[in-house]
Amino acid sequence: MDSAVVVSAPGKVLITGAYLVLEQPHAGLVVSTSARFYAVVKPIHENLAPDSWSWSWSDVKVISPQLGTETDYKFSHRDLSLRRVSSEGSSSFVEQAVQLSVAAAKAGFTGASSEEREHFRDQLLQGLEITILGSNDFYSFRRQLEARGLPLTRSSLAALSAFSSISTNTQPGEDEIALPEVAKTGLGSSAAMTTAVVASLLQYFGRVDLPLHGAAKEDVETDLELVHSVAQAAHCAAQGKIGSGFDVSCAVYGSQRYVRFSPSVLSSVQASGRLITPLEIMKQVLAESWDGERLAYALPPGLMLVVGEPGFGGSHTPSMVGAVQAWRKRDPEKATPIWNALAEANLSVEKGLLHLKTVAGSGKFYENILESCSTSSADKWKILHGDTPGSLEVVMSLLETRQAFLQVRSLLRHVGEAAGVPIEPPSQTALLDATMEMDGVLLAGVPGAGGFDAVFAITIGSTVRDKLELEWSRRGVLSLSAQEDPSGVSLEKCDPREV
């Protein structure tokens, strides 16, 4: 349908900055992925009814083919709120995204021409049909693969249909770990979904003009700032708390070095339990000055992101974060030096990766060194390339980055033990240590807050990725298809199911 708008937003992997990214001025390196959420928006009614001018409600339908649900709502023109009228399941993230996106669009039409305001009202009266689709990598398909007798590999995942139906957990996992209702892989599905819905509605109402996926576009910063503000507000309202926001920022802007905004920016969202309308919330949020920092970032040339699912199910990040914060308050004398050391180690990883991007400018010389390192273990890199200053600079950058990341892992394990949460549990430690001993693996860790839901590695070249996938499969770890894709929220040419 020509009137349909399709927008996508990426998932994320937080490489450094776990826990520290919750506080200014600590930074996190977050990489956006090829796994994306899509939102398809189109009108429910092609033509307006003659008496539609008197309507005070609009129809909204949210379709999730992967969950097999269609949820019907009535949208109030008076207070811009949704009322669910069907018995099917609902999502607070989607509901907040719809309410606050329409509110932001309406706020933007203040002072607009009567024709523009009338067009906006007509779009609402036609109703909104929103279809939401998430790449398979956001969800666990281990059960389906095992039921079919397929190996735990990317090729097996590729054999599944795109946007496959989602499996749900019905029993506790090992060690009495409570698993979520929908088995996820920790790529930031709620942030990507919220951002995709927000951006699709703002695009549909003509409030933003987003770039096509993979295409450069000038003068898009103001539009992205609007998407970011609304998506952060919607995500915060749905969660009932103000998080660090790195996952939403990554979904909007793509791979980046991120320093959080002041929580006070979203104070009006926290007040939403009182009698304050979505329009009032968005007027306050859009008037705020966002003081976070963001620097575009991508992995150095020749390095590849690999993400794996160990099969324990998603960890409960909020409870882990709460336990760590409680430990810091309870024992600041021990926590503070560990926290400071962790910040320094994170910075060393960041500097090492940035320096690799600088020396990559040597072109073929850099590529040849990486190719050689990809076929040997890290303890041999210096022996192979320590004879010339240029070679040594590249190798030392690799080794220093690797050593700094090992320090990050060690400190996070210490934090987890002190706080009583499994940031890098023993099963993950054994897997990650074995991974880092492989030829051509720069580093491996648990992303974000850690736990059981995912592991990641950064390898030198695609050949190493293939070997790592086989080793992970042997250890019961499913390598996902997702790779780094630095692109943030984007307009798509068509419904992804039609590709």
Q: What is the fold, at CATH topology level, of the domain defined by 303-479?
A: Alpha-Beta Plaits (3.30.70)
What's the token pair of residue 368? 């040849």
Nearest one of 398, 414, 274 to 339, comparing CA atoms:
414
Fill in the DSSP letter of residue 418: H
Helix runs in 136-272, H state only? 142-147, 154-158, 189-204, 221-239, 246-253, 267-270
List all residues 6 or more positions away from 111 whose beta carbon is below 8 Å from its beta carbon.
none
- Name the pTM for this structure: 0.94
pLDDT at 189: 96
Strands 57-64 and 128-134: parallel
User: Where do the structural domains in the chain lie, given as residue ranges?
Assistant: 5-140+184-297, 303-479
Residues 6 or more apart whose Cβ sits within 8 Å of residue 118: none
Amino acid 386: pLDDT: 67
The DSSP letter of residue 492 is -
Return the pLDDT at 383: 87
Contact criterion met (CB below 8 Å) for 22 and 328: no
Instruction: Give the whole-angstrom CA distance, residue 217 versus residue 211.
Output: 6
3-state secondary structure of 429: helix
The distance between the two most distant Cα atoms of the chain, rounded to a whole number of Å, is: 83
User: Closest Cα partner for 207 from 225, 223, 228, 230?
Assistant: 223
Second-level CATH architecture of 5-140+184-297: 2-Layer Sandwich (3.30)
Pairing of strands 69-76, 82-84: antiparallel
Tell which residue, 370, 341, 369, has the closest CA to residue 458.
Answer: 370
Query: Element (H or E) spanning 454, and its range?
Result: none
Q: Which residues of the chain have pLDDT under 70?
A: 1-2, 53, 167-181, 271-274, 312-316, 386
Residue 132, pLDDT score: 98
